């Protein structure tokens, strides 16, 4: 059987509201093995080929045989030069089966997600190909692979993009003595990468690491900067957490491994048998190690095969990271961290309460599970060292989470109702399985592929938990994850997820931006893991686990979505020789969770569609005077963004306003008379303007640093510009009539301004400024472009205000978001005043009835629309951004603009109560509107 590729829409979605990575593959075509493959939009190479028995060279390497097969069958695979275009990633041999993973290169440059797998059998001196799968993009056509944008510029833009995403909706003042702009973020160039959108997009890949300026969370973001224009076309978090939310340091050698642990020869004498008590009271055996100083350490050398040489086999090390900040442990090793060092082989209560016993014991159980069931040697398949850091904190407080960062498992200290996060075996199994996924299918941790990554980690984590703790699948709590983490709550009340929650695509799939849960990696994971778990309940653990592992290790590739995941599992089941009844069980499990071809089309909305499948990486939408302006690309996302203008009524055909010159034209806005935007190029950023009624686009300003938040009204344009010298932002304005260009706050060092709005020549903005004593005050000002006068709005207390959010200015006055309590859970007030600062009024309080987690706002003369974004302590539809409409005078009742499920982002007010926004309900980014609120949802 050969399955053709569908349209690879995944990366056109990147950084957008689209979570379908790659949703459009639902429209695959199935033909017989002898037929030609139905070509897709980006590739002629089949996504899945099964039921082959085609001889290849029995001698030589498996990789050479695999590439030889692809070359010999060029008419089937359409891969012109397998030897030159495919680099060997990994070769695995399991019994008589061989699996070769090959990474696509285009003119020597890595193609993101371009990975092809060849499966073979070798027995009785013969070797034959049994099938292939994956993605090889045949339509790539780039004139040059040399970036125009320098590494320095790419890093600056990447850090700015991550800082903007992490900053939330509020501008916050630094503490006394601290300088503003200290985001503690750094960027590292990873090289040049091609995003397989259409004919290909050349990018510089930048890894941004550090500490979130908002909550102290660790940051590890992958950012892709268009190599022609310098615009950040995609970014997502690369930290794989259990809950939805560098170089070797001192004390380690260059590899980040504790020096003695890495250099010690292994033998039976290195294993000291110890004991410890787990959180649940069970006393267990632990393998310890006595170093040359006579100290016992939580290092396990005891799982080596009898014939292993001294430097082969696994080494499991459990490090004492108590009190270390979580941000120091992500992608790095906290300075001087060492393994736990008990005084005796019998580990006492301290090692139970710290989580050391559970982490060390469970890591061994996870290793044993993969070795015993699949003959897999560790996370990387080659018995690489396995590290756990236990007991990290966040800002000195408990950190209720755990994650895999590409090198190690990191477990939070826990607090409140939570124990240390190594207390549950399925958490340990989950995080370690992320390592297995990374070294097999390497599913991209965003959107649907990220949800599958989470689903597989949950599935195997739970399977390992049940086996290690002798729990039957008939137990009513068998499908719970994290159920043993709590000190007082029942397992069902404690669990973070439930594989038996019954979620389906049609009822429960949540369309969410990459800002939110990396595109729904936790929100949507149990749709896929639930199907796998149903299959496990019906087929039994041993067979189901073999099928899922085979699908992961030999069929899935980085950009697979739910539909391709289904196909991989079905194909793996067939390869393993299941009966017809068992195969029907596999298919029925996916059917029951709505994972069927075309499932994305069944998601309903209550909004009017303006544009569908908008490719617009965080560049927003603007509206005014019955017109809207939005950036968009072609459907496959291969073209740089152009600015389009249309009628907010939805009638008529949108007009192209910007030139299609290879630059990125973004952050568009309109007042109904003029459209403005920023044009990103390799030489800088130009601020462009073009009349709605016709005429040429002209450059009204240019700047070398990053920009955002363009607004226009009449003769005036304002926007937020990043000042790399001081690491701050300032609001810059242009008078298109006179040509005047200036900063509203004068640009003095460490003055900060941003979040502008504009009306009749007056610009409202949030501001932060130091006083003579070094204290920073926050406030809202209105700058009069005609006179230069500045008017302060009446914030509650400028010396105590914790944050100021988006401003809006209309004929009725000035509106803004204000946070005056840094100790609450994040609620903010919505306030207004007249343009002269008189008649202040609170439209929504910061606490109590009617309070909101106000993130952003937009206003017309008739309505104020607030984006309500609750903190995502538990990812769900209710924690996603939703639009709430208020009256400008505070009368009436707050109403939901739309009851759509999924993200509602980048709202922009037109006239009356009409609001446009980018909606993610369907799994794509759709530009939608409502002319009046939906009411209560």
Q: Which residues belong to the active site?
A: 431, 522
Cα–Cα dist 57/880, whole Å: 54
| Cα 250–chain centre separation | 31
Buried b (16+ CB within 10 A) or exposed e, 215-234: ebbbbbbbbbbbbbbbbbbb
User: Is 638 within 8 Å of 198 (Cβ atoms)?
Assistant: yes
Beta-strand relationship, 480-481 and 497-498: antiparallel
Cα–Cα dist 200/16, whole Å: 18
Cα–Cα dist 11/449, whole Å: 12
Query: Which candidate, 446, 401, 447, 444, places its Cα nearest to that of 420?
Result: 401
87-374-450-116 Cα dihedral, nearest 10 degrees: 30
Kindly report the backbone phi and psi dihedral angles of residue 381, in degrees, each rounded to the nearest multiple of 5, phi listed first: 80, -5
Cα–Cα dist 325/824, whole Å: 22
User: Is 850 within 8 Å of 828 (Cβ atoms)?
Assistant: no
User: Is 390 within 8 Å of 359 (Cβ atoms)?
Assistant: yes
Cα–Cα dist 463/471, whole Å: 10
- Angstrom CA distances, 249 to 218, 252, 253, 702, 740, stand at 17, 6, 8, 42, 51
- Angstrom CA distances, 165 to 84, 444, 751, stand at 39, 20, 21
Query: Which candidate, 784, 781, 756, places its Cα nearest to that of 768?
Result: 781
925 exposure class (CB count in 10 Å sphere: 0-12, 13-18, 19+): buried
Cα–Cα dist 404/242, whole Å: 9
User: Is 720 within 8 Å of 687 (Cβ atoms)?
Assistant: no
Cα–Cα dist 896/75, whole Å: 55
Using alpha carbons only, what angle is made at residue 195 by residues 918 and 209, rounded to the nearest 5 degrees? 80
User: Is 910 within 8 Å of 621 (Cβ atoms)?
Assistant: no
Cα–Cα dist 102/45, whole Å: 14
User: Is 410 within 8 Å of 334 (Cβ atoms)?
Assistant: no
User: Is 104 within 8 Å of 137 (Cβ atoms)?
Assistant: yes
What is the three-class DSSP state of 141? Answer: coil
| Cis amide linkage into residue 22, ω under 30° from 0 | yes
Cα–Cα dist 210/8, whole Å: 32
C-beta atoms surrounding 528 within 10 Å: 28
HEC profile for 29-57?
Answer: CEECCCCCCCCCCCCCCEEEECCCCEEEC
- Angstrom CA distances, 548 to 71, 340, 579, 757, stand at 30, 35, 16, 53
């Amino acid at each position: 059987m050969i399955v053709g590729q569908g349209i690879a829409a995944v990366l056109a979605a990147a950084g957008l509201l689209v979570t379908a990575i790659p949703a459009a593959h639902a429209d695959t075509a199935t033909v017989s093995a002898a037929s030609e493959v139905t070509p897709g939009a980006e590739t002629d190479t089949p996504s899945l080929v099964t039921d082959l028995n085609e001889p290849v060279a029995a001698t030589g390497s498996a990789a050479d045989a695999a590439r030889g097969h692809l070359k010999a069958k060029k008419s089937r695979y359409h891969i012109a030069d397998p030897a030159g275009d495919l680099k060997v990633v990994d070769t695995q041999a399991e019994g008589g089966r061989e699996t070769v993973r090959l990474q696509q290169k285009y003119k020597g440059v890595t193609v993101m997600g371009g990975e092809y797998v060849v499966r073979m059998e070798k027995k009785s001196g013969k070797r034959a190909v049994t099938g292939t799968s994956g993605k090889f993009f045949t339509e790539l056509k780039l004139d040059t692979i040399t970036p125009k944008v320098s590494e320095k510029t790419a890093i600056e833009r990447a850090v700015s993009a991550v800082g903007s995403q992490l900053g939330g909706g509020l501008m916050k003042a630094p503490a006394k003595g601290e300088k503003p702009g200290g985001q503690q973020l750094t960027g590292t160039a990873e090289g040049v990468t091609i995003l397989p959108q259409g004919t290909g997009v050349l990018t510089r890949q930048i890894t941004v690491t550090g500490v979130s300026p908002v909550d102290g969370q660790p940051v590890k973001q992958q950012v892709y900067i268009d190599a022609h224009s310098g615009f950040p076309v995609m970014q997502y978090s690369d930290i794989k957490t259990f809950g939805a939310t560098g170089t070797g340091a001192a004390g380690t050698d260059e590899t980040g491994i504790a020096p003695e642990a890495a250099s010690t020869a292994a033998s039976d004498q290195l294993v000291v048998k110890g004991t410890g008590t787990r959180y649940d009271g069970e006393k267990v055996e632990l393998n310890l190690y006595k170093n040359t100083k006579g100290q016992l350490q939580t290092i396990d050398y005891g799982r080596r095969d009898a014939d292993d040489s001294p430097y082969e086999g696994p080494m499991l090390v459990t490090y004492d990271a108590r009190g270390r900040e979580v941000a120091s442990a992500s992608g790095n090793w906290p300075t001087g961290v060492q393994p736990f060092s008990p005084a005796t082989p019998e580990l006492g209560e301290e090692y139970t309460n710290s989580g050391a016993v559970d982490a060390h014991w469970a890591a061994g159980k996870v290793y044993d599970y993969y070795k015993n069931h699949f003959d897999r040697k560790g996370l990387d398949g080659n018995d690489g060292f396995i590290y756990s850091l236990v007991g990290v904190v966040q800002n000195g407080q408990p950190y209720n989470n755990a994650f895999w960062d590409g090198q190690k498992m990191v477990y939070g200290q826990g607090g409140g109702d939570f124990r240390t996060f190594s207390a549950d075996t399925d958490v340990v199994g989950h995080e370690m399985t992320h390592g297995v996924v990374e070294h097999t299918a390497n599913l991209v941790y965003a959107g649907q592929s990220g949800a599958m990554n989470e689903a597989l980690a949950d599935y195997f984590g739970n399977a390992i938990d049940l086996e290690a703790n002798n729990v039957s699948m008939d137990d009513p709590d068998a499908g719970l994850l994290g159920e043993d983490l709590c000190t007082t709550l029942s397992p069902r009340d404690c669990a973070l997820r439930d594989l038996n929650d019954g979620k389906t695509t049609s009822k429960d799939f949540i369309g969410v931006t990459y800002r939110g849960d990396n595109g729904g990696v936790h929100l949507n994971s149990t749709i896929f893991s639930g199907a796998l778990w149903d299959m496990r309940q019906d087929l039994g653990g041993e067979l189901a686990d073999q099928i899922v592992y085979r699908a992961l290790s030999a069929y899935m590739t980085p950009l697979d979505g739910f539909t391709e995941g289904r196909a991989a599992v079905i194909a793996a089941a067939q390869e393993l020789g299941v009966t017809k009844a068992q195969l029907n069980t596999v298919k029925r499990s996916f059917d029951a969770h709505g994972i069927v071809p075309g499932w994305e089309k069944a998601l309903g909305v209550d909004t009017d569609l303006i544009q569908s499948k908008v490719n617009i990486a965080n560049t927003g939408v603007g509206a005014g005077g019955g017109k809207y302006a939005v950036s968009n690309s072609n459907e496959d996302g291969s073209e740089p963004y152009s600015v389009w203008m249309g009628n907010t009524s939805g009638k008529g055909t949108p007009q192209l306003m910007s030139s299609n010159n290879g630059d990125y034209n973004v952050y568009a806005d309109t007042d109904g008379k003029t459209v403005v935007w920023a044009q990103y190029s390799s030489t800088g950023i130009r601020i462009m303007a073009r009349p709605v009624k016709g005429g040429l686009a002209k450059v009204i300003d240019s700047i070398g640093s990053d920009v955002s938040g363009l607004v226009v009204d009449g003769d005036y344009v304002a926007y937020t510009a990043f000042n790399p010298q001081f690491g701050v932002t300032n609001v810059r304005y242009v008078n298109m009539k006179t040509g005047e260009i200036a900063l509203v706050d004068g640009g003095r060092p460490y003055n900060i301004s941003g979040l502008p709005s504009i009306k009749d020549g007056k610009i409202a903005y949030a501001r932060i400024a130091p006083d003579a004593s070094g204290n920073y005050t926050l406030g809202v000002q209105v700058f009069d472009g005609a006179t230069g006068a500045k008017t302060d709005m009446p914030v509650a207390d400028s010396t105590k205000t914790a944050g100021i959010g988006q401003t809006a200015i209309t004929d009725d006055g000035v509106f803004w978001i204000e946070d005056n309590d840094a100790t609450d859970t994040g609620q903010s007030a919505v306030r207004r005043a007249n343009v002269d600062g008189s008649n202040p009024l609170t439209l929504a309080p910061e606490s109590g009835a009617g309070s909101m987690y106000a993130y952003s706002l937009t206003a017309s003369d008739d309505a104020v629309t607030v984006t309500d974004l609750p903190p995502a302590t538990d990812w769900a539809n209710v924690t996603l951004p939703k639009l709430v409409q208020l009256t400008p005078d505070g009368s009436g009742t707050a109403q939901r603009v739309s009851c759509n499920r999924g993200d509602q982002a980048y709202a922009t007010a037109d006239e009356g109560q009409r609001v446009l926004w980018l909606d993610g309900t369907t799994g794509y980014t759709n530009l939608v509107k409502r002319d009046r609120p939906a009411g209560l949802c």
